[in-house]
């Protein structure tokens, strides 16, 4: 080798190392909001979800969200990234396209186009002339040479319209159909009204009252009612109404300001909510929203990741702080009140809504319990109020009871909060509520427990009694019984309560089929259902198959391993999830639902990260003494299934659950078994994570030699001492601690393999 050649290769090697290092963003992130994209997950369709999200313009947990509207009125996919036209800026309370919306109306700006028709008013737009942030949205409406900007508070929003010079600048407010009302008050530069359009879950007296206040007089007023547009008519009430007000813009670039607020309580309360905008101009409100989001996002401070990892992390954290949303308001005396979506009355106290516990019990609520306990405490009070007002804890609320999904996972949400130190003053009411839900079928199948009498008698809901998704229900009920047992024990309830729910937590064993090593539907007479296809989606399971639901034994993976033939057999079964081709049987649905298609195209075998039932599965390698396999597959999932792009999810984002999975996993741990004190270790992707806890303590998570290839834990130190366990305890974390990971390119197969290193399992607890 010549000196020149050696020198050249050395320089190339140094440049390569520098390039690798340059891929990481060094230093503290002062404004994490700058890394958030609200467009992640918006490139979705009915048949294939990349998140099924919309760009929510909102404050954390805000009562009202706003979103650009590309879809037609009533379309659950209100904004899709591939759309070419915008129909308006919509106030929305939609938790997902599958649930659709309520309390909705739309605002649109136009020039020389006096129309309310949603197709005729639509304008071309480009993402190149769009700014989409949590606290601020702007878009250039190309057909009108007009810029529209909006910034929110919790219950109100500020609009700024920048028109060209014209005497025909229009602002339209569309109150949508199914019963609406609009009144224009020219002397006050104001529009008031209400909308009733909803997709269910509301009492008969439901209305969303709104008020829109402009900063200048109207040149002309028109209202429409059921397709008829009439000038100088100021009040309309019909199936579908709205208002169109005209302004004269004297100079190019002149700005028109408008304030909007709404209330579920009354028109007077809507005007009161409008005061959230008092005292600051538009730009000051933008700055305030930026500060609020930076404050909340900065509670989880990450350093030393790539630009894409940072953007993905903070975009996921943003979505983890949207739901459940506030459904309460502040009255004139400063008291917290709410319109009850359960009985239609206006009552004191907190209320939250728009979340499905089937999804979010898994890690979204545990994340809030860890990082935002003050909000969790309010949410627990809201749950107690829901029970008092409706007679049952909701399992899917939007805004009231919705008859969708399975399980009784409100028990987990209540129990995990208490066990994680959330001391709700309503815990007595909540305990009463979880017992009622655990032992009774509700007025709809998604409240209480469908098949409760069968479950109490047999330990499972039979396959042949016309209760669909029976095996999924039974497995979730058994876990929920465990959560109640944990809560009863923590509250020092009678031994009879504790023993009953502890024994019922073992009911999962009744559905394990030794011949296949998987969970299987069982008939009332005790026989397994036949024929059995473990690749059949639906039927006995919920949006998944037996390969997905066989791992839904959150409370006792040690017991599951024994049923499967021991740790090695369970490890092989876990491996099989990734090695079996993504074959499926869709005969229950009659076509491949989007969750099936998302699994099929991911090239991860039967692993279906786009839906919730299997999202914890990778962590189970920690239970069988093979934590390095969890570390490998967790990195693969984070790398393959998430990105900061419009197609950045691999299925439904689902109200923060799929986002919170990434947030937890990127930090290096995950709450596999809510309602316990443990988090299971994974593979942290950042050089440093600092959790700023509400009690003033800090959790410092540091990694050495961390990279995409160095994904294996070589050694872990807890406050400077060697730590071999595959789990960490919440009760120790909240005291403040430092976790120091030394990462390696090869797995350490001697770490985390001893019995004492394995995480909690109910049957271990009994030994």
Q: Could you give phi then psi for residue 215, rounded to 5 degrees? A: -100, 10
Count of alpha carbons within 13 angstroms of residue 197, beta-carbon side: 27
Low-confidence ranges of the chain (pLDDT < 70): 1-22, 767
Please name which of 122, 216, 80 lies closest in space to residue 160, comparing C-alpha atoms. Answer: 216
Please name which of 106, 112, 60 lies closest in space to residue 86, comparing C-alpha atoms. Answer: 106
Helix axes 470-490, 410-419, angle to 10 degrees: 30
Task: Answer whether CATH 2.70.98.10 is correct for domain 38-297.
Answer: yes
Residues in CB range of 521: below 8 A, 6 or more apart? 463, 470, 471, 511, 528, 529, 532, 539, 540
What pTM does this model have? 0.96
**Other residues' Cβ atoms within 10 Å of the Cβ of residue 250:** 9
Please state, in angstroms and rounded to a whole number, the distance separating the CA atoms of residues 454 and 591: 31
| pLDDT tens per residue, range 636-673 | 999 999 999 999 999 999 999 999 999 999 999 999 99
CA 626 centroid distance within chain:
30
User: 487 near 415, Cβ under 8 Å?
Assistant: yes
Q: Residue 337: enclosing H or E segment and its boundaries?
A: strand 336-339
Please state, in angstroms and rounded to a whole number, the distance separating the CA atoms of residues 584 and 581: 9
Please state, in angstroms and rounded to a whole number, the distance separating the CA atoms of residues 94 and 100: 6
pLDDT for 551: 98
Please state, in angstroms and rounded to a whole number, the distance separating the CA atoms of residues 396 and 393: 9
Please state, in angstroms and rounded to a whole number, the distance separating the CA atoms of residues 735 and 238: 59
CA dihedral 479, 482, 487, 488 (to 10 degrees): 140
Domain boundaries, the chain: 38-297, 320-326+354-766
CA 388 centroid distance within chain:
26
Question: How many residues are there in the chain?
Answer: 767
Q: The CATH number of 320-326+354-766 is which of 3.90.280.10, 3.90.1150.10, 3.30.2080.10, 1.10.3720.10? A: 3.30.2080.10
Please state, in angstroms and rounded to a whole number, the distance separating the CA atoms of residues 467 and 398: 24
Residue 14, burial from CB neighbour count under 10 angstroms (0-12, 13-18, 19+): exposed
Ramachandran assignment for 178, one of left (phi > 0), alpha (psi -120 to 50 degrees), beta (any other): left
3-state secondary structure of 720: coil
Q: What is the distance in angstroms between the CA of the first residue and the CA of the last residue of the chain?
A: 66
| pLDDT tens per residue, range 500-542 | 999 999 999 999 999 999 999 999 999 999 999 999 999 999 9
Please state, in angstroms and rounded to a whole number, the distance separating the CA atoms of residues 626 and 621: 5
CA 227 centroid distance within chain:
37
CA 274 centroid distance within chain:
28
The reply to whether omega before 399 is within 30° of 0 (cis) is: yes
The sign of the CA dihedral 757, 758, 764, 765 is positive
pLDDT for 16: 39
Please name which of 155, 264, 260 lies closest in space to residue 207, comparing C-alpha atoms. Answer: 264
Please name which of 520, 554, 514, 517 lies closest in space to residue 540, comparing C-alpha atoms. Answer: 520
Please name which of 236, 253, 254, 252 lies closest in space to residue 116, comparing C-alpha atoms. Answer: 236
Please state, in angstroms and rounded to a whole number, the distance separating the CA atoms of residues 751 and 715: 8
Please state, in angstroms and rounded to a whole number, the distance separating the CA atoms of residues 715 and 336: 50
**Other residues' Cβ atoms within 10 Å of the Cβ of residue 355:** 28
User: 191 near 172, Cβ under 8 Å?
Assistant: no
């Amino acid at each position: 080798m010549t000196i020149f050649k050696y020198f050249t290769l050395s320089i190339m090697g140094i440049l390569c190392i520098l390039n690798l290092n340059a891929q990481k963003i060094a230093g503290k992130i002062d404004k994490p909001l700058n890394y958030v994209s609200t467009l992640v997950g918006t490139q979705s369709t009915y048949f294939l979800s990349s998140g099924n999200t919309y760009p929510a313009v909102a404050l954390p947990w805000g009562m009202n969200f706003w979103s650009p509207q590309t879809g037609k009125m009533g379309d659950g996919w209100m904004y899709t990234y591939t759309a070419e036209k915008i129909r308006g800026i919509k106030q929305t309370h939609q938790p997902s396209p599958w649930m659709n919306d309520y309390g909705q109306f739309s605002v649109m700006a136009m020039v020389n186009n006096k129309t309310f028709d949603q197709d005729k008013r639509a304008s071309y737009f480009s993402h190149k002339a769009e700014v989409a942030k949590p606290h601020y949205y702007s878009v250039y409406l190309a057909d009108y040479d007009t810029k529209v900007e909006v910034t929110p508070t919790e219950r109100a929003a500020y609009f700024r319209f920048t028109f060209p010079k014209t005497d025909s600048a229009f602002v339209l407010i569309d109150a949508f159909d199914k019963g609406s009302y609009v009144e224009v008050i020219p002397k006050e530069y104001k529009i008031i009204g209400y909308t009733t359009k909803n997709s269910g879950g509301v009492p008969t007296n439901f209305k969303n009252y709104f008020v829109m206040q402009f900063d200048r007089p109207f040149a002309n007023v028109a209202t429409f009612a059921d397709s008829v547009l009439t000038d100088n008519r100021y009040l309309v009430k019909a199936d579908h109404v709205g208002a169109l007000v005209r302004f004269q813009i004297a100079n190019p670039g002149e700005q028109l300001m408008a304030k909007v607020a709404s209330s579920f309580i009354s028109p007077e309360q809507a005007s009161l909510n409008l005061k959230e905008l008092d005292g600051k101009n538009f730009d000051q409100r933008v700055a305030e929203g930026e500060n609020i989001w930076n404050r909340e996002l900065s509670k989880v401070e990450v350093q030393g990741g790539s630009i894409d990892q940072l953007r993905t992390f903070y975009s996921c954290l943003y979505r983890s702080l949207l739901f459940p949303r506030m459904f309460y308001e502040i009255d004139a005396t400063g008291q917290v009140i709410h319109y009850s979506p359960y009985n239609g009355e206006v009552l004191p106290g907190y209320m939250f809504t728009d979340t499905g516990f089937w999804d979010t019990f898994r890690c979204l609520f545990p994340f809030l319990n860890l990082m935002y306990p003050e909000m969790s405490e309010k949410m627990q009070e809201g749950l107690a109020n829901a029970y008092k007002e409706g007679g049952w804890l909701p399992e899917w609320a939007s805004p009231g009871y919705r008859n969708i999904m399975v399980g009784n996972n409100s028990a987990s949400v209540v129990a995990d909060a208490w066990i994680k130190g959330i001391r709700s003053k309503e815990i007595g009411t909540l305990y009463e509520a979880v017992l009622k839900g655990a032992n009774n079928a509700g007025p709809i199948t998604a409240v209480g427990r469908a098949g409760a009498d069968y479950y109490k008698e047999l330990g499972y809901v039979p396959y042949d009694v016309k209760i669909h998704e029976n095996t999924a229900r039974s497995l979730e009920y058994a876990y929920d019984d465990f959560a109640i047992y944990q809560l009863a024990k923590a509250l020092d309830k009678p031994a009879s309560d504790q023993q009953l729910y502890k024994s019922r937590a073992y009911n999962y064993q009744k559905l394990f089929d030794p011949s296949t090593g998987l969970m299987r539907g069982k008939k009332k007479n005790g026989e397994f259902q036949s024929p059995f296809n473990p690749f059949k989606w639906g039927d006995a399971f919920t949006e998944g198959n037996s390969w997905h639901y066989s791992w839904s034994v959150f409370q006792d993976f040690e017991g599951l391993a024994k049923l499967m033939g021991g740790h090695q057999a369970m490890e092989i079964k876990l491996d099989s999830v990734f090695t079996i081709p993504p074959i499926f049987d869709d005969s229950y649905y009659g076509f491949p639902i989007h969750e099936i298609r998302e699994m099929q195209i991911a090239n991860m075998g039967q692993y279906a990260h786009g839906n919730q039932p299997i999202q914890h599965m990778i962590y189970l390698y920690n239970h069988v003494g093979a934590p390095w396999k969890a570390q490998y597959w967790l990195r693969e999932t984070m790398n393959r299934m998430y990105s900061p792009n419009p197609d950045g999810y691999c299925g439904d984002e689902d109200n923060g659950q799929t986002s919170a999975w990434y947030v937890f996993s990127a930090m290096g741990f995950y709450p596999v078994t809510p309602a316990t004190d443990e988090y299971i270790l994974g593979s942290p992707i950042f050089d440093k994570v600092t959790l700023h806890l509400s009690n003033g303590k800090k959790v410092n998570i540091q990694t050495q030699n961390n990279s995409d290839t160095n994904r294996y834990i070589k050694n872990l130190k807890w406050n400077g001492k060697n730590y071999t366990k595959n789990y960490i305890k919440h009760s120790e974390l909240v005291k403040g601690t430092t976790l120091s990971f030394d990462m390696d390119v090869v797995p350490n197969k001697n770490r985390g393999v001893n019995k004492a290193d394995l995480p909690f399992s109910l049957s271990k607890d009994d030994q």
